[in-house]
Amino acid sequence: MYGLVLGGGGSRGAYGAGAYEALRDLEITISAVTGTSIGAINGAMIAQGEFEKMKEMWHTTDTSAFIDVEKDYLKQVEDGDITLENISYFINKGIEIVKNKGVSTAKMMKLLDDMIDEDKLRNSKINYGVVTVAVDKLDPVEISIDRMPKGTVKKYIMASASLPGFKSPAINGVKHVDGGVYDNLPINLMRNMGYNKVIAVNLGPMYRKRSMKGVILISPREDLGGILDFNPKRSAYRYELGYYDTLRVFKNLKGQEYYIKSNLDKKYYRRLLLDISDSSLKKICKIHNVKDIPCERALYEVLIPRTIEILNLDRDSSYETVILAIYEEIAKYLKIDKFKVYDALEFMELVKEKYAKVKKTRKESIFDFMKRKGFIMKHFKDEILQEIMDILIEDK
């Protein structure tokens, strides 16, 4: 049984919700949830057993449900339809916020009223806690539900999720702000509640140093975007990303951006390199402008290190990592769906099959084009990898 820690990050919270669905599918038991900001909201719905309601929220709710803005004007701006009318509206909205000394949290409070049930939370078998900060002395408040006075649970959740610039809710006469000001990933609160086996879902940079002993960390490998971007389409993407990143961690999946189950012997990937024909090696050496070194030596001394550099991999990356990364780059070029768990062989065959079809439509070799134009190769990672893929397909 684990304690689940959910980080703050506004609209990025869809990632945390997706991560929780993966934990459910993996049948991992959660005994407690702590959260900051949007993590406190997700955590409350998880603790009270409202997973389906949380999932629906992330797939249907837009920014206007959290912030007092007109939905039509918001959609126009999101779609790039900028007009004098919607510019004037947002200017006036900004003036209104200044006059009111902060962004209204009325809509967010209504959302909490609709989603959160204090009695369910208190009676849940899953323990619950949040982090917020008392404004008067800037004191951090790390509090579990058993220490929250009756009738204050929603206030504490609202306090934890009140970003700087939003109207601060008062608890016992003291205003509070977003818990992310103090601790955006409340692992310490979870430990203080007595849970040492921890799964932590991080939504962005971790600025605060903390012990990660006993912590399984789930964190995105790509930027999740703005914290107020509650567009349902982008939320759905973040949700899927959180789901599959969690599978990556618990199923030890390979891949930089794709999710690949590699049950192949590590020697298999080395053999793939050793089996490249001399003629193909010479073509790859030509692409990399390698001269005066036998191609067999160049493979290990120049070509693999240079490919690692082009792919921005760690210098000590395994052959498996390098080869799969090449296939991943081509898969992105081909727009192959990444939200699926692929078998390694299945993935490589799919990429080769689709790429072979695309290759037939190309009128000119990318390498010939680059050579004719005199381009510097490191600026053309995709093109270099495509040309190498051409050679490898021919070689096999």
Task: Answer whether residue 333 shows pLDDT above 50.
Answer: yes
Q: What is the pLDDT of residue 8?
A: 94
| CB within 8 Å of 321: residues ≥ 6 apart | 254, 313, 314
State pLDDT tens for residues 223-234: 998 887 888 999
Please tell me the least confidently modeled range out of 41-50, 63-72, 365-374: 365-374
State pLDDT tens for residues 21-36: 999 999 999 999 999 9
Q: Are 217 and 202 in contact (CB under 8 A)?
A: yes
Assign 394 a pLDDT band (cuts: 50, 70, 90): low
Number of residues that this document lists for the chain: 396
Q: Are 17 and 47 in contact (CB under 8 A)?
A: no
Task: Answer whether residue 259 shows pLDDT above 90.
Answer: yes
Q: What is the pLDDT of residue 369?
A: 43
Helical H runs in 173-259? 187-192, 232-251
Strand 139-144 vs strand 127-134: parallel, antiparallel, or unpaired? antiparallel
| Amino acid (1-letter code) at residue 80 | G
Coil/strand/helix, residue 121: helix
Assign 135 a pLDDT band (cuts: 50, 70, 90): confident
| Amino acid (1-letter code) at residue 335 | K
User: Closest Cα to residue 107, out of 69, 77, 141?
Assistant: 69
Task: Answer whether residue 379 shows pLDDT above 50.
Answer: no
Assign 376 a pLDDT band (cuts: 50, 70, 90): very low
How far is it, in rounded angstroms, from Cα 387 to Cα 391? Answer: 7
Question: What dihedral do alpha carbons 241, 243, 247, 249 form, nearest 10°?
Answer: 60
> What is the reported pTM?
0.84
- Residue burial 361-376, b: 16+ Cβ < 10 Å; e: rest: eeeebbbeebeeeeee
Assign 140 a pLDDT band (cuts: 50, 70, 90): very high
How far is it, in rounded angstroms, from Cα 15 to Cα 244? Answer: 10
Task: Answer whether residue 212 shows pLDDT above 90.
Answer: no
Please tell me the least confidently modeled range out of 83-87, 176-180, 295-299: 83-87
Q: Are 29 and 2 in contact (CB under 8 A)?
A: yes
Please name the residue that has the structure tokens 């408040």. 141
Q: Does 230 or 283 have the greater pLDDT score?
A: 230
- Which tokens belong to 328? 């991943």
How far is it, in rounded angstroms, from Cα 331 to Cα 354? Answer: 9
Assign 19 a pLDDT band (cuts: 50, 70, 90): very high
Average pLDDT taken over every residue of the chain: 83
Please tell me the least confidently modeled range out of 104-108, 280-284, 353-357: 104-108
Task: Answer whether residue 119 shows pLDDT above 90.
Answer: yes
How far is it, in rounded angstroms, from Cα 32 to Cα 195? Answer: 8
254, burial (CB in 10 Å: exposed 0-12, middle 13-18, buried 19+): buried
Question: What dihedral do alpha carbons 359, 362, 363, 368 form, nearest 10°?
Answer: -80
Cβ atoms within 10 Å of 50's Cβ, excluding its own:
18
Average pLDDT over residues 118-129: 97
Cβ atoms within 10 Å of 329's Cβ, excluding its own:
22
Task: Answer whether residue 118 shows pLDDT above 50.
Answer: yes
Average pLDDT over residues 340-357: 92
Task: Answer whether residue 80 shows pLDDT above 80.
Answer: no
Q: Are 132 and 176 in contact (CB under 8 A)?
A: yes
Average pLDDT over residues 135-158: 93
Task: Answer whether residue 97 shows pLDDT above 70.
Answer: no
Q: Across-strand partners of 200?
A: 5, 217
| CB within 8 Å of 80: residues ≥ 6 apart | none
Q: Are 193 and 3 in contact (CB under 8 A)?
A: yes
Question: H helices then E strands: how many in the chain?
Answer: 18, 10
Helical H runs in the chain? 13-25, 38-47, 51-60, 71-78, 84-99, 106-115, 118-123, 153-160, 187-192, 232-251, 266-274, 278-287, 295-298, 304-310, 319-333, 344-359, 366-373, 381-395
Coil/strand/helix, residue 356: helix
Per-residue DSSP letter, 299: I
Average pLDDT over residues 111-129: 95
Please tell me the least confidently modeled range out of 134-148, 155-169, 320-334: 155-169
